[in-house]
Chains A and B, each alone.
Chain A
Amino acid sequence: MNRPFAPITPVATDADSLPALRIVTCGAVDDGKSTLIGRLLHEQDLIFDDQRAALVRDSASRGAAGDEPDYALLLDGLAAEREQGITIDVAYRSFATARRAFVVADAPGHAQYTRNMATAASTADLAVLLVDARKGLRPQTRRHAIIASLFGLRHIVLAVNKIDLVDFNQTVFDDIARAFGDFGRSLGFAAIHAIPLSARHGDNVSSSSLRLPWYRGPTLLDHLETVAVDDVRADRPFRLPVQWINRADADFRGAAGTVAQGRVRLGDPVAVLPSGLTATVARIVGGNGDLIEAQAGDAITLVLGDAVDVGRGDMLSATRDRPPVADQFAAHLVWLSDEPLYPGRSYLMKINHNTVPATVTELKYRIDIDTLARLAAKTLAANEIGVGNLSIARPVAFDAYADNRDTGAFILIDRASNDTVAAGMIDFALRRATNIHRHDQTVSPAARTALMGHKPAVLWFTGLPASGKSTLANRIEAALHARGVHTLLLDGDNIRHGLNKDLGFTESDRVENIRRAGEVAKLMTEAGLIVLCAFISPFAAERRMVRDLIGNTAFIEIFVDTPLAECIARDPKGLYRRAQAGEIKNFTGVDQPYEPPRQPDLHLSTAGTDVDTLTARVVAELERRGLFTTD
């Protein structure tokens, strides 16, 4: 035991000892990505005999044309892919030559391209961008270069493929290379390297081609084996996002995590963020025992000498050069989900081991990834990229993505489906949370409550149109008023005629409608009222957003559960009839879904029960919760 990880001088040409170079291959559908990778593996004798036999068998059985096996089958691992002859998902393939090890992420070039390439690019060191020499730069070529640049890739190889089909013509190659160079420089790549090659015939893949005497540069493989992708993380200020607290025994308490940036030595002072408290590093614990220092990339456990509070999601940092701490920031978003982005909706953000409620407060623009033009946008659909402001429920520490690809990145998760819906890259903090101080008010909510003689609350009635929400809320308000309770009734009608008259009934407008109603209800509870809110509020995410806003104790979700057939039969305003006739669009229950609450605080099945009974149930529940007394 106790063998510290001593720094090792790497042997520069040893594939066994150096970390693999992570490559993403990209290009339009027919530009020959799979053929290129297959050719490379074939020339390096890296396809196992049983895999080759399976490849030949599968190529034949799928009627692949020609003399060569269909190398795409090596990477298309899923049955559906081989059946349909398309690539669905990112495949990772490891291989090593005598000089270097590689992990190639092959991102398919079909409809979901942006999403797949984003996934592959997020962990890549270098992009190989294929172009067909006959076709030159195409919109996809530019698009892929833009995505590579957005994800912070610094190195790009432009593989000008099918050079045999333009008779190995130097002018064609030079024109493509020059055009791409002009474009690529504007994207800020550190190095662009153009190579003429033929993936099908092997020219310049791993051996120089006699048919390209005018090209004096390296082959593709030579270049990949020798290109230096500098890791500058170790030279930056120390950062360690805390992943887990290790309580090995009663006396041991360590903050475990992977060093994201910089170095840490025994005795170094470190800051704990967001709290800003400082402490000294008392021990650096590795997998076998104590270390004297650790650097970017090491998974360690730090014991701090002073009794400061540290938890998962905190960031340990150098005391001098600290990361920003904020609850609002501007970021680039790549939308991954088929369900579009709704500004104002509550998502979960996972960032630096925190999972926090988050909303896109303002979508500033969408980026046209073919031209880089900024387009006005209210939403983002799948595979679209935009820039917006985000707000999160509590401040976290992070870096700008341009400074660190780990501590500046986040994902957004849908609260109902748990799907990963967006990838985000932070541009900058909008304001430092440490500078925001709410003005201290002399009269506190507790003081107002005392004067009222009862506690404030929000009774949130949700249900289909014509389910009886307003009728019920109205009757309950009357009962409360009779008991001397201070109330206010908010419903879709009175809010939409005033505060929200600028909003329609699209999904994004419905989200905003509920957000504003929630904010108004919150102000009313601060005034000490019991607020009755009757809104269809069809989406679970928005109801949850209001719950988060109001707080779990004061928010009481009441599901007014009336069967759709019954609502249609009642239809007091004739709205169902008009919706079914197609005269009203986006009508809940007809052409827009209603997501019933899974666990409402009160579930009122209205069928066969009269309003008085239901009213009594609600009042009894409020009584049980102690709302009619002050503490």
Chain B
Amino acid sequence: MRPPVPTPRLRQLEAEAIAILREAIAEFARPVLLYSVGKDSSVLLHLARKAFYPGRPPLSLLHIDTGWKFREMLAFRDRVAARTALDLIVHINRDGLARGISPIASGADLHTQVMKTEALRQALQQGGFDAAIGGARRDEEKSRAKERIFSLRSAGHGWDPRRQRPELWRIFNTRLGPDETMRVFPLSNWTELDVWHYIRAEGIEVVPLYFAKARPVVDRNGALIVVDDDRLPLRTGETPRLTKVRFRTLGCYPLTGAVRSDADTLDAIIDEVRDAILSERQGRLIDAGDDSALEMKKREGYF
């Protein structure tokens, strides 16, 4: 196993991401960092600290809480916010809560639409943010592969994939028309493996859910759902069984499948990711179904 030092590859990706973060700060009046608590967000936050060192990142963190995040994620989020001393805005769609929207009662599609997509739009609107910086990568999904690093959103936060601005060299067109906003993706060119190599090289803390551990699990149509608390109603015949699993990607807990794994160290995770035969987003139940599922959500303003 290689020693944990930043390789030339990681240094190049790091420098590129730092330049993108600085450009966003230089060009926008009110940018915000979308902090989802996942590994990519952890890397993004680490990069933001480096980009503006020795100063603090001139950014607030915005977390869209759907009400269904793992308890470990919320605890981790609050700890990170306290340690970095950055302003943390937690937004939850109160209207959706009042309507009783939940992944259990309403189904994955409606829950995602109301508690994530609409919630994000509300939060950006209320905060008056003109740019939202997020940790999405092009290697996650094929519609993301075509997204720009500085990606324009219409007045209604929609994404029009056919009207994207050409993006040449490292020159970014950051101009906004009335009520338009920008999404900015500093990790566009990173892969899942790069993210883990960087986490190891830089000693970045991530949510323990990424490490394999025996957890109570039910198997639903092939997806391993971890029973985080008693909010998940068990179906008849379902008994949670302790299984050694970890998460490759983290979302709302009834909508994110875990994977069977023994990888309980960074080195083991890196080996596992390198040998993976399934893509990272296979655990995301919201992408399943139509082969344009994620693109359609993004057009409506989903991250």
Min CB distance, B222 to chain A, in Å? 11
Contact stretch, chosen from A72-80, A131-139, A164-172: A72-80
- 0/1 per residue, A99-126, Cβ < 8 Å to B? 0010100000000000110110011000
A409/B53 in contact, CB under 8 A: no
Contact stretch, chosen from A90-98, A207-215, A481-489: A90-98
B111 at the interface (CB under 8 A from A): no
Most buried by A among B18, B51, B169: B169
Residues of A within 8 A of B161 (CB): 78, 80, 88-89
B170 at the interface (CB under 8 A from A): yes
Min CB distance, A496 to chain B, in Å? 34
A19/B12 in contact, CB under 8 A: yes
Closest 7 CB pairs of A and B: A287-B50, A248-B55, A77-B142, A17-B7, A418-B175, A79-B292, A48-B279
Contact stretch, chosen from A50-58, A455-463, A577-585, A586-594: A50-58
Q: How far is the CA of A440 from the CA of B9 in the complex (A)?
A: 55
B162/A418 in contact, CB under 8 A: no
Contact stretch, chosen from B21-29, B91-99, B116-124, B207-215: B21-29
A16/B55 in contact, CB under 8 A: no
A122/B169 in contact, CB under 8 A: yes
Q: How far is the CA of A93 from the CA of B143 in the complex (A)?
A: 11
A50/B168 in contact, CB under 8 A: no
Min CB distance, B130 to chain A, in Å? 13
Min CB distance, A263 to chain B, in Å? 15
B residues with a Cβ closer than 8 A to A are 2, 5-9, 11-12, 14-16, 18-19, 22-23, 25-26, 47, 49-56, 138-139, 141-146, 161-162, 164-173, 175-177, 188-189, 191, 193, 197, 276-279, 282, 291-292, 295-296
Min CB distance, B8 to chain A, in Å? 5
- 0/1 per residue, A11-33, Cβ < 8 Å to B? 00010111110000000000000
A299 at the interface (CB under 8 A from B): yes
Quick one: given A299-B14, A299-B18, A420-B173, are A119 and B168 in contact (CB under 8 Å)?
A: yes
- 0/1 per residue, A404-422, Cβ < 8 Å to B? 0110011101000111100
Contact stretch, chosen from A239-247, A503-511, A530-538: A239-247
Most buried by B among A115, A243, A297: A243
B55/A246 in contact, CB under 8 A: yes
Question: Contacting A244 at CB < 8 Å: which of B9, B25, B53?
Answer: B25
Quick one: given A19-B9, A258-B19, A413-B175, are A405 and B277 in contact (CB under 8 Å)?
A: no
A249/B146 in contact, CB under 8 A: no
B177/A16 in contact, CB under 8 A: no
Quick one: given A50-B282, A298-B15, A420-B166, are A89 and B193 in contact (CB under 8 Å)?
A: no
B139/A297 in contact, CB under 8 A: no
Question: Contacting A8 at CB < 8 Å: which of B8, B23, B171, B197?
Answer: B8
Question: Contacting B5 at CB < 8 Å: which of A8, A18, A353?
Answer: A8
Count of A residues near B, CB < 8 Å?
A: 76
A252/B168 in contact, CB under 8 A: no
Residues of B within 8 A of A285 (CB): 53-54
Q: How far is the CA of A413 from the CA of B142 in the complex (A)?
A: 28
Residues of B within 8 A of A90 (CB): 146
A16/B197 in contact, CB under 8 A: yes
Question: Contacting B170 at CB < 8 Å: which of A76, A89, A96, A406?
Answer: A406
Min CB distance, B112 to chain A, in Å? 18
B168/A409 in contact, CB under 8 A: yes
Closest chain B residue to A74, Cβ basis? B142
22 contacts between A and B (CB under 8 A): A50-B278, A78-B146, A78-B292, A78-B295, A79-B295, A79-B296, A92-B145, A92-B189, A94-B191, A96-B191, A243-B23, A243-B26, A248-B53, A248-B55, A286-B50, A297-B11, A350-B173, A406-B169, A413-B173, A418-B175, A419-B173, A420-B173
Quick one: given A94-B189, A243-B26, A247-B55, are A419 and B165 in contact (CB under 8 Å)?
A: yes
A331 at the interface (CB under 8 A from B): no
Question: Contacting A297 at CB < 8 Å: which of B12, B138, B278?
Answer: B12
A80/B162 in contact, CB under 8 A: yes
Residues of A within 8 A of B197 (CB): 16
A89/B146 in contact, CB under 8 A: yes
Min CB distance, B155 to chain A, in Å? 13
Closest chain A residue to B180, Cβ basis? A418
Q: How far is the CA of A49 from the CA of B280 in the complex (A)?
A: 11
Min CB distance, A384 to chain B, in Å? 15
Min CB distance, A45 to chain B, in Å? 8
Residues of B within 8 A of A444 (CB): none
A115/B19 in contact, CB under 8 A: no
Residues of A within 8 A of B22 (CB): 243-244, 256-257, 299
Residues of B within 8 A of A50 (CB): 278-279, 282
A244/B26 in contact, CB under 8 A: yes
Most buried by A among B9, B166, B169: B166
Residues of B within 8 A of A410 (CB): 171
Residues of A within 8 A of B138 (CB): 92-94
Q: How far is the CA of A411 from the CA of B148 in the complex (A)?
A: 16
Residues of B within 8 A of A413 (CB): 173, 175
Residues of A within 8 A of B8 (CB): 8, 10, 17-19
A16/B193 in contact, CB under 8 A: yes
Which residues in window 387-417 of A have CB below 8 A to B? 405-406, 409-411, 413, 417
Besides A258-B15, A301-B53, 17 more A-B contacts (Cβ < 8 Å) are A8-B7, A8-B8, A75-B142, A76-B142, A82-B292, A94-B138, A123-B170, A246-B54, A248-B56, A252-B54, A257-B19, A257-B22, A287-B49, A299-B19, A299-B22, A351-B171, A419-B173
Residues of B within 8 A of A5 (CB): 6, 11
A312 at the interface (CB under 8 A from B): yes
B145/A118 in contact, CB under 8 A: no
A122/B292 in contact, CB under 8 A: no
Min CB distance, B147 to chain A, in Å? 9
Quick one: given A77-B143, A246-B52, are A103 and B19 in contact (CB under 8 Å)?
A: no
A48/B169 in contact, CB under 8 A: no
Residues of A within 8 A of B7 (CB): 8, 10, 14, 16-18
A94/B139 in contact, CB under 8 A: yes
Residues of A within 8 A of B164 (CB): 89
Closest chain A residue to B168, Cβ basis? A122
Min CB distance, A353 to chain B, in Å? 7
Q: How far is the CA of A546 from the CA of B124 in the complex (A)?
A: 37
Question: Contacting B171 at CB < 8 Å: which of A247, A256, A409?
Answer: A409
B18/A287 in contact, CB under 8 A: yes
A288 at the interface (CB under 8 A from B): yes
Quick one: given A51-B279, A287-B18, A299-B14, are A16 and B23 in contact (CB under 8 Å)?
A: no
Min CB distance, A99 to chain B, in Å? 13
- 0/1 per residue, A350-365, Cβ < 8 Å to B? 1101000000000000
B169/A17 in contact, CB under 8 A: no
Q: How far is the CA of A115 from the CA of B167 in the complex (A)?
A: 10
- 0/1 per residue, A255-294, Cβ < 8 Å to B? 0111000000000000000000000000001111100000
